Chain A
Amino acid sequence: MRQGRLVATGLMLLFCLVAAWQSWLLPLTDRLGPGPGFFPFWMALIGVALAIGLLVVTVAQPAAAPVEAGDGEDTERILPHGPGAARWFAIVVALAAAAAAMEVLGFRITMLVFNAALAIALGERRWWLIALFAALGSFGVFYLFTTWLDVLLPVGRFGI
């Protein structure tokens, strides 16, 4: 976990450095007082100092031995692993695919496929229940939100 914390803190340090540089390019003051760059610039500088501080604190800490949880799960690992990793990636990939397809296929078709695919990927097997859930979670939800709640949802290029 220490290695993961170092990487994450390093990335935040980079983020603060970029923010400080980008803020520096904005006016820090103008004739009325502080300009648009003033607050983010100083915040980013404080962030740089804190990130360096956290890096030092993390490096100074003794490395912990990997801890095995009661069910044999390694709690020190950061990225998904074991049988759960497939479920993890299924969720991320399904969400990304839905976000990419929504404007082309529209909410109803995208969510019909999304619901069915995700339910199957997460271990559901009763086809009639999957079909019912997918239909309710796409066409049903679309009707509920657009007709009853007046919330606009994407309609694709095919008008569905």
Chain B
Amino acid sequence: MDALGHLMSGFAAALSINYLLYATAGCILGTLIGVLPGLGPAAGTAILIPITFNLDPTGAIIMLAAIYYGAMYGGTITSVLINVPGEAASVVTCIDGYQMAKQGRAGSALAIAAIGSFVGGIVATVLLVLVAAPLATLALKFGPAEFFALMVAGLCLVVGLAGNNMWAALLMTIVGLLIAMVGLDPVRGAPRFTYGVDELIDGVGFVPIVMGLFGVAELLIAAEKRQTRMIEADLQKWNLTKDEWRRSSGAIARGTGIGFVLGLIPGVGSIVPTFMAYVMEKRLSKNPERFGKGAVEGVAAAETANNSYANGAMVPLLSLGIPSSPTIAVLMGAFIIHGLQPGPFLFKERPDLVWTVIASFFVGNVLLLILNLPLVGLWARLLKIPFGYLCAGVLIFCIIGSYSLKQTMFDVWVMLGFGVIGYILRKLDFPLAPAILALILGPMMEKSLRTTLEISGGSFAIFLERPVALALLAIPLLVLATMLLRPRTFAKLRESDIE
């Protein structure tokens, strides 16, 4: 069956009442998570994993994916109304979105964000359909050497984007890899670094660590800050002029392309495409001085690129089994919890699941548009929830999420410990994304490397004999070579384009 046939079967399943309900619930929960300041998509997705434990794997992944892109949209609301990005990708939206809100045009900003997110999401999913299956077929020809090289390249790209923080990012990668080594050796099954603690036999739990680093740490940072005031606005009032629609349509088209292409590259992260799309619009504009003062195309570009990136980032996950960002790493963890290994073999062994999930991306984007345009006033009211209830409510889910996977309080302590560590590391400007990606890729990297060396009789020359592996391993060298030049260029761009 070709891709179109598989996709049609996927639609038939995704439109069944159960999966439609899961996608709807995921969109609502995701938007809710995105709206709440201090909770990004990574923490949100991790926190809500427990509610999918007893769903079938397809339903669980549909729901978690919907939570992911719902959270990506939800972050926009806080960016526009209180100038606080609900998640990192919405940082750029704050620049013009908040200015529009101050001018009484919050409804217009949120409407163009919803429309841009919808177009970006749908087009990126079409491109995902075209790209993912051929890429997975190609990846089926990969051996352990190529997979090891691919994972090294993915991790190095994450590190490369840390800019001036390259040393810290590399060190965080190694720390993540070492934490991933705790538990049973993935090749021989021998216990390592467990020190007689039964709870460590299965390793340090990925979900408690993510909840700690992203959920608890975010709450601890939010607890220190002062409360921000929300701009009161008529959110149902749209007043986009014909000229604004014209300018926004160009921004949406370009944002879609930028978001999707950058989504394909492991490690780029969601802030880079939104930043690049914004900068491009500013450079192309005949009146760049309007940017930063409420330019609607600035909001359209950033939000479109954000959602297009979110869907594009599914390509490396589904085709190669490589997560592009911490949130995608959490989704990958959810696949593994449900007994699935994302990557080329998933396309071969469970095409029903893969294509139903892909079809659900289309459905989810339509649901998001339907839910978000009329319900934006409701979401905005959530911003008025007092911090005490918000914090306690989120922690309830963190405790349940950490405990319920292995039914042990040990994981709740792990979550608390990593919450405090995450708080300190964030204050010290240590990037957390490389550690999270290393944590999920660590066991697979080790297994691939050791299998490769067993095949070669212990000789590393095997990497020189396999051109694909060699090419992929060249990426880290290129990253290291450009590390001295690029951060300055990036910093200069940032200074000149975003005040």
Interface residues of A (CB under 8 A from B): 1, 4-5, 8-9, 12, 15-16, 19, 22-23, 26, 29-30, 32-40, 43-44, 46-47, 50-51, 53-54, 57, 71, 78, 80-82, 84-85, 87-88, 90-92, 94-96, 98-99, 102-103, 111, 114-115, 118-124, 129, 133, 137, 141, 145, 149-154
Contacts of B391 in A (CB 8 A): 91, 118, 122
Would you list 29 pairs from A and B whose C-beta atoms are within 8 A, ordered by A residue?
A1-B428, A4-B428, A12-B175, A16-B178, A22-B193, A30-B188, A33-B454, A34-B453, A36-B190, A36-B192, A40-B193, A50-B174, A51-B171, A54-B167, A78-B428, A80-B223, A87-B387, A91-B216, A95-B412, A96-B416, A102-B403, A115-B392, A118-B388, A120-B388, A122-B388, A133-B393, A145-B404, A151-B54, A152-B407
Q: Is the CB of B224 within 8 A of A82?
A: yes
CA distance A39 to B187 in the complex (A): 11
Supply 5 further A-B pairs (C-beta < 8 A) apart from A30-B188, A39-B446: A50-B171, A53-B167, A88-B223, A123-B386, A133-B389
Interface size on B, residues (CB 8 A): 60
* Complex Cα gap A88–B453 (Å): 48
Q: How far is the CB of A39 from chain B (nearest CB, A)?
A: 4
CB contacts (< 8 Å) of A151 on chain B: these are 50-51, 53-54, 400, 404
A133 and B223 alpha carbons, distance in the complex (Å): 19
Closest to B175 in A: A12
Residues of chain B within 8 A (CB-CB) of A43 are 174, 177-178, 181
- B429: Cβ under 8 A from any A Cβ: yes
Q: A35-B188, A40-B192, A153-B403 are in contact. Are A99 and B389 (CB under 8 A)?
A: no
Q: Is the CB of B167 within 8 A of A50?
A: yes
B residues near A36, Cβ cutoff 8 Å: 185, 187-188, 190, 192
Min CB–CB distance B487 → chain A (angstroms): 13
A57 in contact with B450 given A47-B174, A80-B224 (CB within 8 Å): no
The proximity string for B residues 170-213 relative to A, scoring 1 for CB distances below 8 Å and 0 otherwise, is: 11001101100100010110101100000000000000000000
- Min CB distance B27 to A, Å, is 18
CA distance A150 to B51 in the complex (A): 9
Contacts of B178 in A (CB 8 A): 15-16, 19, 40, 43-44, 47
* Contact present for A32 and B454 (CB under 8 Å): yes
- B15 located at the interface, meaning its Cβ lies under 8 Å from any Cβ of chain A in the complex: no
Minimal beta-carbon separation of B387 from chain A (angstroms): 6
Q: Interface centre among B391, B396, B413, B430, by most A CB within 10 Å?
A: B396
Given A85-B224, A118-B388, A122-B388, is A34 in contact with B400 using a C-beta cutoff of 8 Å? no
Contacts A47-B178, A99-B416: A91 and B409 contacting too (C-beta < 8 A)? no
Closest chain-A Cβ to B48's Cβ sits at a distance in Å of: 11
Residue of A nearest to B219 (CB): A91
Q: How far is the CB of A118 from chain B (nearest CB, A)?
A: 4
Contact A92/B420 with A8-B430, A39-B181, A151-B400 known, Cβ cut-off 8 Å: yes
Instruction: For B182, give the chain A residue with the smallest CB separation.
Output: A40
Interface, chain B (partner A; CB < 8 A): 50-51, 53-54, 167-168, 170-171, 174-175, 177-178, 181, 185, 187-188, 190, 192-193, 216, 219-220, 223-226, 386-389, 391-393, 395-396, 399-400, 403-404, 407, 409, 412-413, 416, 419-420, 424-425, 427-430, 445-446, 449-450, 453-454, 457-458
Complex alpha-carbon distance, A35 and B454, angstroms = 10
Q: Which of B51, B178, B392, B416 has most chain A Cβ within 10 Å?
A: B392
Q: Which residues of A contact B458 (CB under 8 A)?
A: 29, 33-34
Contact between A91 and B220, CB atoms less than 8 A apart = yes
- Whether the pair A88, B220 counts as a contact (CB closer than 8 A) is yes
A34 to B449, Cβ gap below 8 A?
yes
* Cα separation A124 to B389 with both chains bound (whole Å): 8
A102 touching B428, Cβ below 8 Å: no
Could you tell me the distance between the alpha carbons of A32 and B465 in the complex, rounded to whole angstroms? 21
**Contact pick for B171, options A9, A34, A84, CB 8 Å:** A9
Minimum CB distance partner of A117 in chain B: B392
- Residues from chain A with a CB closer than 8 A to the CB of B449 are 34, 39
| Most-contacted residue by chain A among B171, B185, B187, B224 (CB, 10 A) | B171
| Residue with the greatest number of chain A CB neighbours at <10 A, chosen from B181, B404, B446, B449 | B181
**Complex: A94 Cα to B399 Cα, angstroms:** 12
Quick one: which of B393, B404, B416 contacts A153, CB cutoff 8 A? B404
Q: A98–B216 Cα gap in the complex (Å)? A: 14
Contacts of B51 in A (CB 8 A): 145, 149, 151
Chain A residues within an 8 Å CB radius of B424:
4, 8, 78
Contact across chains for B171 and A5 when beta carbons are under 8 A apart: no
Q: Is the CB of A8 within 8 A of B428?
A: yes
Partner of A57, one of B167, B429, B446: B167
Q: Select B396's contact among A29, A34, A37, A137, beta carbons within 8 Å.
A: A137
Across the interface, B386 reaches (CB within 8 A) one of A38, A53, A87, A124, namely A124
* B174 (CB) vs chain A CBs: closest residue: A47
Establish whether residues A119 and B389, one from each chain, have CB atoms under 8 Å apart when the complex forms. yes
7 closest A-B pairs (Cβ-Cβ)?
A: A84-B224, A122-B388, A47-B174, A33-B454, A87-B223, A36-B185, A124-B388
With A and B bound together, what is the CA distance between A35 and B458 in angstroms?
Answer: 11
Nearest B residue to A3 via CB reads B428
A22 to chain B minimum Cβ distance, whole angstroms, is 6
Using A54-B168, A102-B412 as known contacts, say yes or no to A71 and B395 having CB atoms under 8 A apart. no
Min CB distance B254 to A, Å, is 34
Known: A22-B193, A78-B424. A84 touches B395 (CB 8 A): no
The distance in angstroms between the C-alpha atoms of A140 and B454, with both chains bound, is 54
Chain A residues lying within 8 Å of B392, measured Cβ to Cβ, are 114-115, 118-119, 122, 133, 137
In the bound complex, residues from chain A placing their C-beta under 8 Å from that of B395 are: 91, 94-95, 114, 118
Q: Is the CB of A87 within 8 A of B224?
A: yes
